Structure 1
Amino acid sequence: MSATPLPNLFGRHHERAVLDEVLAGLRRGESAVRVIRGEAGIGKSALLDYVAARASGVTVTRAQGIEADMELAWASLHQLCAPFLGAIEALPEPQRDALQVAFGMAAGDPPDRFLVGLAVLTLLTRASETRPVLAVVDDAHWLDRVSLQTLEFVARRLLAEAVALVFTVRDHEGEGVLVGLPELRIGGLDKPAAGELLEASVEGRMEPRVRDRLVAETRGNPLALVELSRGRTAAELAYGLDAADPESVSTRVEEDYARRLTSLPEHTRTLLLVAAAEPVGDARLLLRAADLLGITADAAPAKAAGLIEFGESVRFRHPLARSAVYREADAEQRRRVHRALAEATDPLVEPDRRAWHAAQASDGPDEVVAAALEEAADRARQRGGMSAEAVLLERAAALTPDPWQRGRRALAAAEAHLSAAAPEHATELAALADLCPLSPLDRARLARLRGRMLFSRSRGDDAAPLLLDAAARFAAEGSSLARETYLEAISATVFAGRVHGPHGARAVAIAARTSGSPPSGSQASDLLLDGVSTLLAEGHHLGVPALVRAFEPFAHEALESRDASMRWLLSVPVALESFIHHRWDLPAWDALSSRAVRLARDIGALSVLPSALIYHGGVQIHYGDFAAATRMIEEADAIALATGQAPHRYATLVLAAWRGDEEAADRAFEEARIRAAEHGEVSLLGVKGYVQGVLYNGLARYEEALAAARTGIEHDGYNFTGLSLVEHVEAAFHCGELAQARESLDRLIELTRAADTGWARGIRARSQALLTDDIDEADRLYRAAIDELSLDRVTVEVARTHLIYGEWLRRIRRRADARHQLRVAHRMFDSMRSIAFTERARRELLATGERVSTRDAEPVARLTPQEAQIATLAAGGMTNPRIGAELFLSPHTVEWHLRKVYTKLDITSRRDLPAALATSGVGTGTTTSA
């Protein structure tokens, strides 16, 4: 490879320096990502050629996006990974299987695109152990969607690998593509460089005024300068270019390409049209199609005109040349060419491409072609190519003559578009399906689809009625989907924050109980629905025992396929909300959330892993392990960012409140308020009331705690009412609002009586003790509360009960006993880093006459949450590859973090980790259970 800049790269000194630094870092073992953005023809591809040519000692792999209506799932990713597929067998089994299914090398369950992304990350990382790897992707905005999403995931997970990704993205077409990654934005060449390029492209000496005018008219666009001057003499250019539309350089260049077509022989123009209609650039296929069309495959005139390069593959000089060729042809010419390409394509080797070309050749409805497209869509789905499935089904629906079949295919296309995160297309296809005759079962599917679309856009009240209607339709048809849809409707009402009302959770529960719907096929899910609907419809005295009966089957359900695992994972939030807020069952919360994390990791379901991590982080908060909770929240946020999801804020709010970090809590509260307003997620208002109650009770600002907790109680939500009652009882007691306190205590007793868990009994006993006048009875209740809460390891509430008990003992002048309880509370909260409650306990100890030392300043080199998590897993005996698979990182990134851990902890190897972590206070905790 050349060690100097390409001879036709004029100017671009800053851009070359940026790319040279990417290569220099790559050779030092550092990763890099750059997204080169600019208008058409501005020189993005030339910069890719430059960085590839300069990459001596580096393995270079390329992929090229092609503008085409056809979407071949994973095609671009396969192109990029092709040089490394010989090492695919060495990948960890789940990653290997996912990649082989995606690339059509094996059969299996449709892979999660993020697991495929991890496989690609591992594949590139392993290749970089021999030589650094540079992957260049031109016109990334035209990659097939699943390849683009996967490469974006890989780009966001690169950190310490000798791998660099350099993309080009065109303005306008690429708006919204690869947003947030490091960019290199380029504009037109400066005046000297543009003039130099123009003079090098034209025969004869140019008059400076003419040169400067052309540079100004093209705004220094290199492609415009070269192509608009091609074949013209300096004298001809002196008459100037048509600058009537100075804002559309690309249009003018495309028009120039189109003008060149007129001078070509007819057979050459037809050959170019075949090449433009076939996005893969397969030269052999082009020759077969040319033979079927009866034309000579003579590309020499097109090459001479600067339109195409013809070798093992066919490549247009620029994407604008391809689009000019295709747009200049009339509809009949295009159909004729696509028909030849369909006939030339092997139906056994490339059935999907053959079906697509046949579809483009159709001039009207054709059931044979539509059926072939539907089969191609099914193959795309099996490979996990939901975007390709959606596009193929959409085209199949358009070509279907029978209105019943057209409606069915349009509905399937809409469902696929929603799964591929394209809700706008889903809405259009749903509208088309609605205009067609549909079976009652398909009408139910359409209603559920519309409910899901609304739920994906907004967590408000609109989705639940549609899901409820869909469930009723399924039930009327005796479909096993009815019960699953009732659970979805209840989930929608939970987020909408409504229990009562015509479309609240209780209305859905009553409908589910009276629907007579058949079993769903999953006994565990059916028992869960029975438990939740009984709770909502009949109350806690019947509902909680029904939930208890559902726990064991649901927690240990055998999941034989990826689809079954995903259905279970999607049901977990409703189960967790029920066991947390109505059963008061911390061990169940731990068991379900830890299984959800483990299952999501095992099948690579990164779409649901952040939610599972957040729920499991909530367990750690109640265990008093705030460090472990922080690690899980940080990982959830990182994965959400890498996968394009909105961050989950519930655990962040709760953790900030228990830490007593008012500034962090206020930021989280404001984010929650905005999200509630934007997405209608009213349930956030319920959690806000609870967490502000915790925060202000910890800060001893009881009037503010009283007002906040009251909003949590008054909010008509499925969750957080009971926890808000606990905060309200304490705040009302300290404010002297005893009538309010007793009213909330009565409701709390009612909510916890059926639960009969250590958490429920302990929290009830402590709240009763606050309002008990009998000293002996209060003392007994406080001790009982500590015992009960300790039984379920609700550590934050154990510490808080010691604090409240100590405060009470001080008030009745039992100072020695008070000191003991307050010391325990202070020690526990201090070890958790719970700032507000630690300070509250310290003040109480001072009031008893005891001197209390304050915590030393935190060490300068504290581990970050991710470093602590990696260190914990390494201390537990996990290898770097296993840790990487757990956390969706490469082994190189794991080792990079570990080296930083060793420096911060002043150790030299992982053998020293367990003792160092214990000394530093990080500990190994319970995170490995996840």
Structure 2
Amino acid sequence: MASPCRIYGRTAELAAVAALSDRLRPRQGGALLLVAEPGLGRSALLAWAGDEFRLGPVLRPRPLTGEPRPYDGMRALLCAAAERRGSAPPPAAFGAVRPAGPPELHRLTGLPELPELPELLRQYVPEEEPLLVCVDDVHLWDAPSRALLGSAARRPDPARPIGILLSVAEHRSDDPDIAGLPVVRFGPLDDCAATALLRDLTGGVLDPSVRSELLSEAEGNPAVLTALAQRLTPDQLGGHRPLPRPLVDGGSLWATFGGRLAPLPSATRQFLLLAAAAHEPDPDAAGADAALVLRAARAAGLGPAAPDPAEAARLVHHDGDRITFTGSLLRRTVYTAAPSSQRRAAHALLASAIDADRHRLRHLLHLALAAQGPDAALAAGLVAASAPGTPTSGMERSAALSRAAELTNQEDVRTARLTAAADYARLAGHTRRARRLLAATREGASPDTVHGRTELVRGSMALRDGPVGDAYQALLMAAERLDPSDAEAALEARMEAMDAAWAAGDPVACLAALAEPPALTGAPRPSPPQDPRRDYSDYRAGLRTALDGHPAEAAPPLRRVLDRARDDDDPVRLMRAGVAALVLGDIPAACRANARALAVSRSRGLASLTPRILEHLAYAELRAGQHARAGSHAQEGLRAAHRAGQRNIAAGQHAILALVASVEDDAAAVAAHAGAAVEIARPHGLLQAVTLAEWASARADLCRGRPFEAAARLGPLTRPGPGRGHFAVRMLALPCFVEAAVRSGASAEARVAVEEFARWTAQGVDPQAPAQLARCRALVAPPDDTADALFALALTRHQAVHGDFERARTQLLYGKWLRRRRRPAEAKNRLRDALVAFEHCGAPAWAEQTRGELRATGDTPAPVPAGGLAVLTPQQLRIARRVAEGATNREVALSLSVSPRTVDHHLRNVFALLGVRSRTELSRLVDRAERDGAQP
């Protein structure tokens, strides 16, 4: 195993530590308190800060062992100073006979008083150098030493620059001895930082699916992640051997969190085990049922005071109805570290405390978790109690069915129950749990229907997180096995197979999935569903006809799909209605259908479906020109996709965010999101996401004045022939290619592309296309008045549809054309309109490009008046004011609890929006605005 030697992530935390060092340069003191739960890396950051400090000596006292005596902490600090200088350490009875010092220490502790910390250190550390004091786990120090240290941190000595960097456990962060200090709280590592840590721990030999499991299990805790990586063999890390279950064992968790649990009384630990066991059937629930846990505790003979030490130590919170652990890793530690016999006993107690008539599933589930071997009757009861329509959560159903499978000997029944459990876990957004359950199924003599269901669940998961080619084949196999015995499930499999083919950009495979299944012999086909809303015949017929190149014939059935969606409440059908609307070119209807689907999905808590709906909605809003709204929904969808383990959906959201960033011209965001999309999309065969990401990168190139690069990106995607972009996206990107080709001198190739775009526009599937076609024709028109008329036509057509950004681009290109024809007065009018439109839709770099064109016409855009600060967002305004006061980016980041990179991004946008070129200009503008009272 490799040993990591760097800090992972922690941008804001590193900035805070660096800011503390910066304050010591002008010989000013300062302090910082690092607060975190166990295992999150506060000790590592403290050690890193000491290693990186270059301004002077660093004092790092050794940890205290055992029960500390008064002033043991201060003696340890002075011992560290003495060792560094080679002088004698303070006496063992340090603090017992020292005179003078802050009177409040004597009043608080009743102990002899000591001088202030700077005076104590003078005899050990030269005063001419700044000094950094690093104390880890300061909550373990004795109270008098902690009070002395806190006093020095709150009142820096003007004669001596001392930086005090302390770390403390989260549950002790409100200790009055260290109250009032600047605090930096650690959260879990994000996936990027955790992946980097894993890469260093394993030397890069890590299967992607194993990495995903480790990231999920560790929940961003670097200590747990390290224990996991060290526990697994190279074959397991590489995906060549199965992973152990549970993946995080009780010993690994106890090594991190046991220090908080070990001091508790036995009765309290038993109470915590009951609470953790009560939470086990539904880990997503908001805590355990307090009444149930208390009844079980009384049955176990635990007194009413049993939970008090746990609440005092902030391990659990009891709000009357629920008992909630302060972290899921802590709850898992309590449960998995207990012997199996104790866990079974806890479940038996809980089962006895549950009203079996009112809460039958919960009662049976705890009985099953207390069972030691197969029990057919108990398994059958679990299946009956978890049937659809019963008032319980998807995760409880999944837990019940998986436990029923464990209690079942018959292989085909066991497989059916595991498959159903996996499906409920998938629908609840627990993809990894679903995958583990499917892995436990075995090929055998089970009926085709059972195997068909298994393949349907497996293919549905691969569609969202895996190669879509594999998903397509699994889903078609599922449909073949499910027909004719389960026609509804077979139809679902074929619709999902069509989605997989669409994501892959394979129209032939789409048509194959949409085709009617071949006639089956041996049994009559079941009748179609009676509910007309469940009949996908119009949807299938319309899409088949559209993909065959007959949009006019496709319109009637697709329009019927939209009509039925007006009062529908099924999110899947609503999402498909949104697809029908996009094919029809009715973008507002697509937005409405997907927005309704999102509302239904949220109200029902459909964690698996919500990320996909958000992707569809964000894409429809992008097509409608509502970039800010699309970005907001894509960000939400990206977070939801990560929670649900749906990397393919995340790739689509990244691609949409890259396109949004290409409007806002955040080059770093475009590169980051496009890169993240392509990293997932290429190996998984997601051609649609790849095409969107490359389009975003090319548009950013155009904004930056790099037409050759833009043409090189888009050429392979937009040209006819093999290897081109996605069939439903490439034409949307073609206007960008035409502009890039013309600006890079490839006019002949641009003319060919314009003719293909004209044929596509005639189909009427994109409301923006007619205006874009006129603009493209203007760009390739000969140098006569034809282009003038075409640009004017394009602007007229833009008025018929929404889309400020595309209209502004047409105005910018028209203004450029007019300027080059020596018609500056007309050019100025067009360019000014473009400038206002770009500013309105939040595209600062495109606005700056327009200002450059205006300057080329001899027109100098008026300087932004003081009242122009109103164009800034609240965050931009806060940053502008702090910078105007002379703060560095790092200091601004610390004060606003953001990263320096975020400050830099916002500051560049502020400069562009206000038309200033330096911090000095910005300072003058803000100062004038504040004096004149122009800024609201």
Bin the TM-score by the shorter chain: 0.5 to 0.7
Report the equivalent of 1:596.
597
Following superposition, the deviation at residue 813 of structure 1 comes to: 3.6
Q: Is the 8 A contact 1:586 1:759 kept in 2?
A: no
RMSD of the TM alignment (CA)?
5.1
Which of 694, 697, 701 aligns to 1:696? It is 701
Following superposition, the deviation at residue 654 of structure 1 comes to: 0.6
For residues 718 and 518 of structure 1, what CA distance do their matches in structure 2 show?
A: 35
Q: Is the 8 A contact 1:693 1:706 kept in 2?
A: yes
Q: Is the 8 A contact 1:583 1:755 kept in 2?
A: yes
For residues 608 and 856 of structure 1, what CA distance do their matches in structure 2 show?
A: 48
Aligned partner letter, 1:791: A
1:714-733 aligned at under 5 Å gives the runs: 714-733=723-742
Q: Deviations over 1:427-461 (max 9, x none)?
A: 56546655344444333322212212323431432
Following superposition, the deviation at residue 825 of structure 1 comes to: 1.0
Deviates more, 1:843-852 or 1:508-517: 508-517
Following superposition, the deviation at residue 824 of structure 1 comes to: 0.9
Report the equivalent of 1:656.
661
Correspondence 1:169 to 2:330: yes
Which of 437, 456, 468 aligns to 1:460? It is 468
Following superposition, the deviation at residue 276 of structure 1 comes to: 5.6
For residues 454 and 785 of structure 2, what CA distance do their matches in structure 1 show?
A: 63
Structure 2 unaligned blocks of 5 or more: 1-64, 69-136, 141-167, 189-220, 222-252, 295-310, 879-932
Aligned partner letter, 1:745: V
Report the equivalent of 1:533.
544
Aligned partner letter, 1:851: T
For residues 847 and 587 of structure 1, what CA distance do their matches in structure 2 show?
A: 39
For residues 476 and 875 of structure 2, what CA distance do their matches in structure 1 show?
A: 42
1:100-249 aligned at under 5 Å gives the runs: 136-137=314-315, 165=326, 169=330
Report the equivalent of 1:489.
497
Q: Deviations over 1:666-686 (max 9, x none)?
A: 222222232225654343221
Correspondence 1:710 to 2:735: no
Report the equivalent of 1:670.
675
Q: 1:23 to 1:678 in 2, by over 3 A?
A: farther
Following superposition, the deviation at residue 800 of structure 1 comes to: 1.3
TM-score normalised by the chain length of structure 2: 0.56
Aligned partner letter, 1:279: A
Report the equivalent of 1:788.
797
Which of 340, 345, 359 aligns to 1:278? It is 345
Following superposition, the deviation at residue 65 of structure 1 comes to: 6.1
Correspondence 1:39 to 2:40: no
Quote the sequence identity (%): 23
Aligned partner letter, 1:743: V
Q: Is the 8 A contact 2:278 2:289 kept in 1?
A: no
1:337-348 aligned at under 5 Å gives the runs: 347-348=356-357
Q: Deviations over 1:189-229 (max 9, x none)?
A: xxxxxxxxxxxxxxxxxxxxxxxxxxxxxxxxxxxxxxxxx
Q: 1:789 to 1:818 in 2, by over 3 A?
A: same
Q: Is the 8 A contact 1:393 1:412 kept in 2?
A: yes
Following superposition, the deviation at residue 590 of structure 1 comes to: 2.9
Deviates more, 1:463-472 or 1:75-84: 75-84
Report the equivalent of 2:246.
none
Q: 1:396 to 1:534 in 2, by over 3 A?
A: same
Which of 74, 79, 102 aligns to 2:288? It is 79
Correspondence 1:409 to 2:417: yes
Q: Is the 8 A contact 1:621 1:629 kept in 2?
A: yes
Q: 1:169 to 1:624 in 2, by over 3 A?
A: same
Q: Deviations over 1:730-780 (max 9, x none)?
A: 212222322211221222122221116642322222222322338555434
Correspondence 1:743 to 2:752: yes
Structure with higher RCO (Cα < 8 A, 6+ apart): 1
For residues 363 and 542 of structure 1, what CA distance do their matches in structure 2 show?
A: 63
TM-score normalised by the chain length of structure 1: 0.57
Between the two proteins, the alignment pairs up a number of residues equal to 623
Report the equivalent of 2:24.
none
Q: Is the 8 A contact 2:681 2:690 kept in 1?
A: yes
Report the equivalent of 1:876.
none
Report the equivalent of 1:900.
none
Aligned partner letter, 1:755: G
Aligned partner letter, 1:773: P
Secondary structure class of the residue paired with 2:330: strand
Report the equivalent of 1:799.
808
Correspondence 1:397 to 2:405: yes
For residues 739 and 631 of structure 1, what CA distance do their matches in structure 2 show?
A: 39
For residues 766 and 367 of structure 1, what CA distance do their matches in structure 2 show?
A: 72
Q: 1:756 to 1:780 in 2, by over 3 A?
A: farther
Secondary structure class of the residue paired with 2:507: coil
For residues 586 and 453 of structure 2, what CA distance do their matches in structure 1 show?
A: 35
Q: Deviations over 1:383-423 (max 9, x none)?
A: 44333323332343344465554443343234334445555
For residues 444 and 823 of structure 2, what CA distance do their matches in structure 1 show?
A: 79
Report the equivalent of 2:513.
508
Q: Is the 8 A contact 1:709 1:728 kept in 2?
A: yes
Q: 1:445 to 1:708 in 2, by over 3 A?
A: same
Q: Is the 8 A contact 1:480 1:517 kept in 2?
A: no
Secondary structure class of the residue paired with 2:568: coil
Aligned partner letter, 2:563: E
For residues 376 and 26 of structure 1, what CA distance do their matches in structure 2 show?
A: 53
Secondary structure class of the residue paired with 1:43: helix
Report the equivalent of 1:752.
761
Which of 353, 369, 375 aligns to 2:384? It is 375
Q: Is the 8 A contact 2:465 2:645 kept in 1?
A: no
Q: 1:438 to 1:751 in 2, by over 3 A?
A: farther
Following superposition, the deviation at residue 280 of structure 1 comes to: 4.5
Aligned partner letter, 1:529: R
For residues 350 and 527 of structure 1, what CA distance do their matches in structure 2 show?
A: 43
Q: Deviations over 1:310-359 (max 9, x none)?
A: xxxxxxxxxxxxxxxxxxxxxxxxxxxxxxxxxxx875356446645775
Secondary structure class of the residue paired with 1:448: helix
For residues 367 and 689 of structure 1, what CA distance do their matches in structure 2 show?
A: 56
Secondary structure class of the residue paired with 2:810: helix
Q: 1:547 to 1:799 in 2, by over 3 A?
A: farther
Q: Deviations over 1:65-94 (max 9, x none)?
A: 678799533797453665999xxxxxxxxx
Aligned partner letter, 1:495: A
Aligned partner letter, 1:558: D
Deviates more, 1:532-541 or 1:67-76: 67-76
Q: 1:466 to 1:727 in 2, by over 3 A?
A: same
Aligned partner letter, 2:851: R
Report the equivalent of 2:568.
558
Structure 1 unaligned blocks of 5 or more: 1-7, 54-61, 86-132, 141-146, 153-164, 176-249, 255-271, 287-344, 869-918, 923-930
Q: Deviations over 1:287-308 (max 9, x none)?
A: xxxxxxxxxxxxxxxxxxxxxx
Q: Is the 8 A contact 2:869 2:935 kept in 1?
A: no
Aligned partner letter, 2:539: L
Q: 1:360 to 1:654 in 2, by over 3 A?
A: closer
Correspondence 1:815 to 2:824: yes
Q: Is the 8 A contact 2:812 2:830 kept in 1?
A: yes
For residues 31 and 134 of structure 1, what CA distance do their matches in structure 2 show?
A: 23
Q: Is the 8 A contact 1:626 1:833 kept in 2?
A: no
Correspondence 1:851 to 2:860: yes
For residues 864 and 441 of structure 2, what CA distance do their matches in structure 1 show?
A: 66
Q: 1:814 to 1:475 in 2, by over 3 A?
A: farther
For residues 722 and 745 of structure 1, what CA distance do their matches in structure 2 show?
A: 10
Q: 1:839 to 1:614 in 2, by over 3 A?
A: farther
For residues 754 and 727 of structure 1, what CA distance do their matches in structure 2 show?
A: 20
Following superposition, the deviation at residue 598 of structure 1 comes to: 3.4
Following superposition, the deviation at residue 464 of structure 1 comes to: 0.9
